Chains A and B, each alone.
Chain A
Amino acid sequence: MIQALADGILTGAIIALGAIGVTFTLGIMRFANFAHSELLTWGAYIALVVVAFAGPGTPTGPLSFGWQLLAAALVAAVLTGFAAWAVDVLVFRRLRRRGALPLTMVFAAFGAALVMRHLIVLIWGHESRYYTRELQLAVELLPGARMLPDQIFILGLALAAMIVLHAFLAWSRTGIAMRAMAESPALAQVCGVEVDAVVRLTWIISGALAAFAGVFTGLTPQLHPEIGFNLLLSLFAAAILGGTGSLAGAVVGGFLVGLGENLSLLVISPGYKGAMPFLLLLVILIVRPQGIFGDKA
């Protein structure tokens, strides 16, 4: 029970990082970006390239990796951010300017996801890859709850990233402009907010967080071309659960989905685990159709 809670929080933290990007694209670009999961994958593989040059570093303290992997994650975050923006310039911006319906964007995203995922296959192949071959033993945090040192570190890092992002959105003028844009692009424009600039920033932030989520997923324990795709449904469930466009929503949604997936196995057969996020979602949507933190439109 306590173990399942601990596991749920861990899974939740990674889902939350990815779901933030999904909720931003839903809130600001106003479409469901099915290619978002591929940004996780790309982030993870970019970090792999850096690690291949720099090595994962000597294990530091209880961790299985050194500063090199963190540096790799940062490089991956920056590059994935720009990659996300590049996809926007190549595909989504063109569609926006042609007045495409949101659904058209969704399927363009689906097409882009196929391309992005299989480019990874083409470059790196299907085989699993590893940042580090170390295997850690879990430490007992609480009676009955074991966690890996790496995972505790990841959890801390993920929470830190969320707090930084929250501060940025709450207090910086650019952050306020982003939230303004999420509510009403037209009104934001007549306030002098440049749509393209906000869109660019949104992609960069989403891509960077996705890269972190991807690296963290890859660390426990392996990378493969479908690492992001396998998380796609959880990401969307979390984003919608929390209410689209809401940072707090995505974070809470992420943790709820993570906990739901892990705790559910106490009562149902693991065969039905895949349905858990949705059943949770269905219940919440019936009680609160706009999501937990969503605003009634």
Chain B
Amino acid sequence: MISYLVFFACIVLILSLLTLGLNLQWGFTGLFNAGVVGFYAIGAYTHAILTASPQPQYLGNFGLPWLVGVLAAMAATALAGWLIGLVTIRLRGDYLAIATFGVAVSIQLVTLNWEPLTGGSQGLTRIGKPFAQLFETPFGFNLWFLGLMIVILGTTYWALDRVLLSPWGRVLKAIREDETAAVALGKSARRFRLEAFVLGSTLMGLAGALYVSFIGFVSPFDFLPIVTFQVWAMLIVGGSGNNRGAVLGALVVWGIWAGSGVAVTKLVPPSRAAQGAAIQVILIGLLLVLVLLFRPRGLIGEAAVVSRHVND
């Protein structure tokens, strides 16, 4: 039981990291990134390719230490975020969304088709886990990983708070709130946006590296568009523009997703499992709609949201 909760918490914290990255882009900068899973994938695969134990049929699988994989994953996603941002960031709203969505789909297809590097649909295994050899049981490793995640997420959370209170963070909010301010800043507004995009993407890459080093296996099926939707649902349910909301959203949405499965298993006999599973997904959809109906700005809305309308 405890062991499952520890495992569950690790997943929630990894998802929180993704949601925090997205919150920086959307909640604080207004960038509609619908390609979250693409950056997650880049981080995951970079880590996997660098740290997985060597195998003759693959170009990668260098067997490098865990920390190298994590840092390289962040660097690779930052670079990818910069390149993708450079091309797409001037698009507005929905168009940026569909463009980033397309980028994520393309990245997933590359992981599926570039077999010598990514293992294609077979995936890569034996990926570097942090100090896994020190632990006898999976529970021990999970507990240690949870501790590690708490430190990483806590540090990220703290650093984001700092950054957003800094002049740089205030400029971001100004750009998001006020188009004229953005126009007045001209070229540098785009630079600020790009920086936020890169920083957010880097967090997503970190989450990807942590996910595969927790699970120990990666395949293209980890990066289907549904993951992007889940992360967005977490941010919207929790309340965008608010880091506490982002973390809470990850907990609530993933809790609903996993918990409803347990509930259905308890209530529906196995012979009706197919219908039960359909009901589970219906419940997930219904809960999402209900949360949004009754708290349209998320569980923890942004405090200063009213200010925008007063000056109309």
| Interface residue ranges, B against A (CB under 8 Å) | 26, 32, 87-88, 90-92, 94-95, 97-99, 101-103, 105-106, 109, 112-113, 225, 229, 232-233, 236-237, 240, 274-275, 278-279, 281-282, 284-289, 292-293, 296-297
Report Cα–Cα, A119/B285, bound state, in Å.
11
**Interface residue A167 (Cβ < 8 Å from any Cβ of B):** no
Q: Which 6 A-B pairs have the closest CB atoms?
A: A278-B102, A114-B285, A111-B288, A100-B296, A115-B285, A111-B289
> 17 A–B contact pairs at CB < 8 A?
A91-B289, A103-B240, A106-B232, A108-B289, A110-B285, A110-B288, A111-B233, A111-B284, A112-B285, A115-B286, A117-B281, A118-B278, A122-B279, A275-B105, A277-B102, A279-B102, A282-B88
Report Cα–Cα, A289/B88, bound state, in Å.
10
Can you name 11 extra interface pairs (CB under 8 A) apart from A111-B288, A281-B99? A98-B296, A103-B26, A103-B232, A104-B296, A110-B229, A111-B284, A115-B282, A118-B281, A237-B102, A285-B99, A291-B95
Q: Of A108, A121, A233, which contacts B278 at CB under 8 A?
A: A121
Q: Of A99, A108, A272, which contacts B293 at CB under 8 A?
A: A108
Cβ contacts under 8 Å, A117 to chain B: 281
- For the complex formed, measure the closest distance between the CB of A93 and the CB atoms of chain B, giving whole angstroms: 11
- For the complex formed, measure the closest distance between the CB of A159 and the CB atoms of chain B, giving whole angstroms: 26
Report Cα–Cα, A98/B297, bound state, in Å.
10
- For the complex formed, measure the closest distance between the CB of A207 and the CB atoms of chain B, giving whole angstroms: 19
Q: Are A108 and B282 in contact (CB under 8 A)?
A: no
Q: Are B236 and A104 in contact (CB under 8 A)?
A: yes
Report Cα–Cα, A289/B94, bound state, in Å.
11
Q: Are A107 and B233 in contact (CB under 8 A)?
A: yes
Given contacts A111-B286, A119-B282, A271-B113, contact A282 B275 (CB under 8 A): no
**Interface residue A113 (Cβ < 8 Å from any Cβ of B):** yes
- Which A98-142 residues have C-beta < 8 A from chain B? 98-101, 103-104, 106-108, 110-115, 117-119, 121-122, 125-126
Q: Are B98 and A237 in contact (CB under 8 A)?
A: yes
Q: Are A272 and B113 in contact (CB under 8 A)?
A: yes
Q: Which residue of A lies closest to B234 (CB)?
A: A107
Given contacts A278-B102, A281-B102, contact A271 B288 (CB under 8 A): no
Cβ contacts under 8 Å, A5 to chain B: none
Residues of A in contact (CB 8 Å), total 48
Q: Which residue of A lies closest to B276 (CB)?
A: A122
Q: Are B90 and A289 in contact (CB under 8 A)?
A: yes
- For the complex formed, measure the closest distance between the CB of B252 and the CB atoms of chain A, giving whole angstroms: 13
Given contacts A114-B284, A269-B113, A289-B91, contact A278 B101 (CB under 8 A): yes
- Which A73-103 residues have C-beta < 8 A from chain B? 91, 94-95, 98-101, 103
Report Cα–Cα, A113/B237, bound state, in Å.
17
Cβ contacts under 8 Å, A126 to chain B: 274
Report Cα–Cα, A125/B94, bound state, in Å.
34
**How does the 8 Å CB contact mask read for A33-62 relative to B, with 1 for contact and 0 for none?**
000000000000000000000000000000
Report Cα–Cα, A278/B97, bound state, in Å.
11
**Interface residue A26 (Cβ < 8 Å from any Cβ of B):** yes
**How does the 8 Å CB contact mask read for A251-290 relative to B, with 1 for contact and 0 for none?**
0000000000000000001011011011101100110011
Report Cα–Cα, A279/B113, bound state, in Å.
17
- For the complex formed, measure the closest distance between the CB of B110 and the CB atoms of chain A, giving whole angstroms: 8
Cβ contacts under 8 Å, A279 to chain B: 102, 106
Q: Which residue of A lies closest to B284 (CB)?
A: A114
Q: Which residue of B lies closest to A272 (CB)?
A: B109
Report Cα–Cα, A126/B90, bound state, in Å.
42
Cβ contacts under 8 Å, A293 to chain B: none
